[in-house]
Amino acid sequence: MTDLRTAVLALVLWGTSLLLIHLPHLAAPAIGVGAGGAALLILARRRSAGMIVLMLLCGAAVAANIAGAQSARDALGAEDGHVVEATIEVSSSASLGADGRLWFDAQTITVGPPGHPRAIAAPVRVGVAPIDGADLGAVLRVSGQGKRAGDGERAALVVFGSRAEVAQPASGVFAIAATTRADFIERAGTLPEPGAGLLPGLAVGDTRAVSEEVNGAMLASGLSHLTAVSGANCAIVVAAVFWFVSLLGGGRVLRVMLSLLSLSAFVVLVTPEPSVIRASVMAALAMLTLLLGRPSAGLAMLSLAVCGLLVVDPWLAATPGFALSAAATAALLVLSRPLLRGLRRWMPVPLALALSVPLAAQLVCGPIVALFSDTQSVIGVVANLLAAPAAPIATVIGLLACLAAPLPALADVLAAAAWLPAAWIQTTAVVAAGLPGATASVPAGPVAALVVAVLSIAATLVLTRPRSVGLRLAASGVVVVALAVSAARMLLIGPLGSMTTPADWTIAACDIGQGDAVLMRSGDQSALVDTGADSEALSACLAKTGTERIDLLVLTHFDLDHVGAATSLAGRVDTVLHGPVAEPADQRILDELAAGGAVLRAGAAGTHGSLGSAEWRVVWPPPDSAAFPSGNDASLVVDVAGGGVPRMLMLGDLSAAPQRQLLSSGRVRGEYAVVKVAHHGSRDQEADLYAQVDAPVALISVGEDNDYGHPRAETLSLLDAGGARVLRTDQRGLVLLGERAGRLVVWTERQE
């Protein structure tokens, strides 16, 4: 009963925190305290009075905390859209964002217009150009553009820094930890891939060296929890110290004390930011209850810890990580033992023990992930089983290598030893993510969460074998159907994928969401123009079309919706033809493709070549154009024809102005069968160019329910007036085109 009551308290407090975070201007303290006092008077003699009063008082504490921080948050929010100058104290580790900035959480000391900052203490999220010294505890002076954060976010303001300098470096234990981490990260960087970039993430939670491709593979394989400090990392540290002290003959009290002391030191080493503290609290609770021989008290302790954390930091209620940490810890306490008993009937005990913990976490966390993620890992349990033996080895030996920095020779040996399991984990992730159907795309939200919850419950019942025969049969039926659907999907996406589409296509517009990815083939050679941002969707398209290798990859420009999935093709591309490079991130994409064996070739008007029997030429942009140096208006525009490929003009993301210049250049002439409409059908089009092209088919590569309103009604009217048949990937899915007896043949995955 005590466990149930504390669990109810945690649930109610969680809901209260969510409500109060999003309604910050309520008179929450007065309401909470008043309600608590009234409940105390009315229910004092009732059996459940203590529990109810405790709920109300905890809610009042949450409300008071939020209300007390609101004035400072409002003051920061007033800087929305303004240039600000701030003095901040770094309060988290830094991570490299997709925009090339170094992002971290901080607490403001002073903030305001340039030259007139005022003292305000409130949390902010800051992004600056990579800078040395942005360590936990350091004080920085930052200038940049402010943008108000949402009410549910811990940060009250997001600062896009244009200038940053270290005013005061980190000191004390934080300085020692920063130096130790930096030395280990540099040492790991000298090791070979795979594994070198992943090792700092496994050991000390620093993911800056993890490439986008590896990060995507870790997500798709369900191993992403290993690349950052999570409850698993904390549990590994505690378990390793507990085992070592036990090996030396230490008693239970000494083992527990030294384990928790080591956990505290680990938290300082990897930076005690909220996510790390949350993970360490959850891990400490789980380990304490199990190691002290009181697993029955675990749920009560967990619930009280959830309440305590939410009282101290109510904004945790709005973070998925908090829900996942709490759920995974609860799964370890409640579900892992029944699963272990069930699995022992099917497999050896050591294997069942290794599988029960990640399986419990996967079953409980799956519905939560489905609330906010549109991708579910199908291969996650198997990948975790394969990676599980290597994770603690890499974490423990990596930590020892980090701590052995004063002895370089020993540190080098330990880092090399930790590299091997890190390489195994990365290889497991990449191979697992590359399997057909490794992930399933589902619309995030309550419906997806409900479906995943039903599947999780069914799987749990099958493994734990409840007494009710009817319940077992129903659960078995659900699992059998789910496995059959998953197997069929994997076959259709993988080995049998090309059997579901016609074989005589020469142009394919892939359904990859909001973005471009157009395939062409002539003879035994294939070309791909842009890749979209979703590597899984791109892989599915390549499988359906039977495309294994890309002879020519054209990156028209470097917007995410055109090149986001490019690095997933590394090792499968012969030549890369690319538009103007403007940012370091653009060059990194090209470098990864080149590392996979691709030859890089810059494109401009006049560049040409062949694809099988077909001929292609670039007609835009002009070489070394000062008017259009990069971006949408400098997109490579490609004209391709011959060798069975209907003549097609692909307009990239050109707007009306460069379209007019392209038309006046005279490089677009003659008859076209297909035009790839510019910029996903945006409104900014030149009607005369489309009249000149006069193509009977217009392809629009666009995602469903995109935020831009693409394709625009004006553009659809323009194409309709010209007599073009519009084929949209959001409505038709995969679109295939070919020639048969001189006629254009169209096949679409879906009908209107």
pLDDT at 553: 95
pLDDT at 578: 93
DSSP H or E stretch at residue 527: strand 525-529
- Which of 82-96, 341-355, 526-540 comes out lowest in average pLDDT? 341-355
CATH number of 78-170: 2.40.50.140
DSSP H or E stretch at residue 158: strand 157-168
Q: Is the dihedral of CA 461, 467, 472, 475 positive or negative?
A: negative
Residue burial 700-724, b: 16+ Cβ < 10 Å; e: rest: bbbbeeeeeebbbeebbebbeebeb
DSSP symbols for 36-104: HHHHHHHHTTSTTHHHHHHHHHHHHHHHHHHHHHHHHHHHHHTTTTSEEEEEEEE-S--EE-TTS-EEE
Say whether pLDDT at 400 is over 80: yes
pLDDT at 35: 39
Query: Which amino acid would we find at residue 365?
Result: C
Question: Across residues 428-448, what is the average pLDDT?
Answer: 72
Say whether pLDDT at 30 is over 50: no
Q: What are phi and psi of 496, to 5 degrees?
A: -100, 5
- Considering the chain, what is the average pLDDT of its residues? 79
Cα torsion at 180, 185, 190, 191 (round to 10°)? 110
Q: Do domains 78-170 and 503-744 have the same CATH topology?
A: no
Cβ neighbours for 538, distance < 8 A, ≥ 6 positions apart:
510, 512, 517, 531, 532, 565, 568, 569
- Tokens 């109510």 — which residue? 314
CA–CA separation, 622 vs 363, rounded Å? 55
The first and second tokens of residue 262, run together, are 């080591």
Cα 631 versus chain centre, distance: 25
- Who has greater pLDDT, 434 or 181? 181
Question: Across residues 124-145, what is the average pLDDT?
Answer: 85
CA–CA separation, 340 vs 330, rounded Å? 15
pLDDT in tens, 84-125: 888 888 887 777 776 678 888 888 888 888 888 888 888 888
Which range scores top for mean pLDDT: 19-23, 372-376, 386-390? Answer: 386-390
Whats the size of the chain, residue-wise?
Answer: 752
Say whether pLDDT at 28 is over 60: no
Residue burial 512-550, b: 16+ Cβ < 10 Å; e: rest: bbbbbbbbbbbeebbbbbbbbbbbbbbbbbbbbbebeeb
- Tokens 């407090």 — which residue? 13
Say whether pLDDT at 27 is over 50: no
CATH superfamily of 503-744: Ribonuclease Z/Hydroxyacylglutathione hydrolase-like (3.60.15.10)
In terms of C-beta density within 10 A (0-12 exposed, 13-18 middle, 19 or more buried), how is residue 651 classed?
buried
pLDDT at 520: 93
Question: Across residues 18-24, what is the average pLDDT?
Answer: 58
pLDDT at 619: 92
Question: Across residues 138-149, what is the average pLDDT?
Answer: 87
pLDDT at 44: 43
Query: Which amino acid would we find at residue 49?
Result: A
DSSP symbols for 608-626: EEEETTEEEEEEESPTT-S
Q: What is the DSSP letter of 382?
A: H
Question: Across residues 410-421, what is the average pLDDT?
Answer: 88
The SS3 of residue 32 is: helix
Confidence of residue 636 (pLDDT cuts 50, 70, 90): very high
Say whether pLDDT at 292 is over 90: no
Question: Across residues 674-697, what is the average pLDDT?
Answer: 91
Confidence of residue 442 (pLDDT cuts 50, 70, 90): low
Cα torsion at 729, 731, 732, 735 (round to 10°)? -20
pLDDT at 25: 45
* 729: nearest Cα among 532, 540, 513, 546: 513
Map out the domains of the chain as residue ranges: 2-69, 78-170, 340-354+363-378+440-496, 503-744
Question: Across residues 234-244, what is the average pLDDT?
Answer: 73
Cβ neighbours for 669, distance < 8 A, ≥ 6 positions apart:
692
Q: What percent of the chain has pLDDT over 70?
A: 81
Confidence of residue 162 (pLDDT cuts 50, 70, 90): confident
pLDDT at 43: 43
Q: Long-range CB contacts (< 8 A, 24+ apart) of 353-359?
A: 354/385, 354/388, 354/389, 355/381, 355/385, 357/332, 357/388, 358/384, 358/385, 358/388, 359/384, 359/463
Contact 674, 700 (CB under 8 A): no
Confidence of residue 207 (pLDDT cuts 50, 70, 90): confident
CA–CA separation, 595 vs 567, rounded Å? 10
Cα 744 versus chain centre, distance: 41
Q: What is the DSSP letter of 712?
A: P
pLDDT at 380: 67
pLDDT at 552: 94
Measured between its terminal Cα atoms, the distance across the chain in Å is 57
CA–CA separation, 80 vs 668, rounded Å? 46
- Which of 173-187, 372-386, 636-650 comes out lowest in average pLDDT? 372-386
- Bridging pattern class, strands 118-119 and 102-112: antiparallel
The first and second tokens of residue 578, run together, are 């690319």
- Bridging pattern class, strands 645-650 and 674-676: parallel
The first and second tokens of residue 419, run together, are 């590299």
Say whether pLDDT at 496 is over 60: no
Within 10 Å of residue 380's Cβ, how many Cβ atoms? 26
pLDDT at 610: 92
DSSP symbols for 389-417: THHHHHHHHHHHHHHTTTSHHHHHHHHHH
* 126: nearest Cα among 163, 175, 172: 163
Widest pairwise Cα distance in the chain = 91
- Which of 145-159, 353-367, 418-432 comes out lowest in average pLDDT? 353-367
pLDDT in tens, 583-631: 888 888 998 899 888 999 999 999 999 998 999 999 999 887 776 777 8
pLDDT at 31: 38
Is the full-model pTM beyond 0.85? no
Within 10 Å of residue 301's Cβ, how many Cβ atoms? 19
- Tokens 């910050």 — which residue? 24
The SS3 of residue 606 is: coil
The SS3 of residue 106 is: strand
- Tokens 């060059």 — which residue? 587
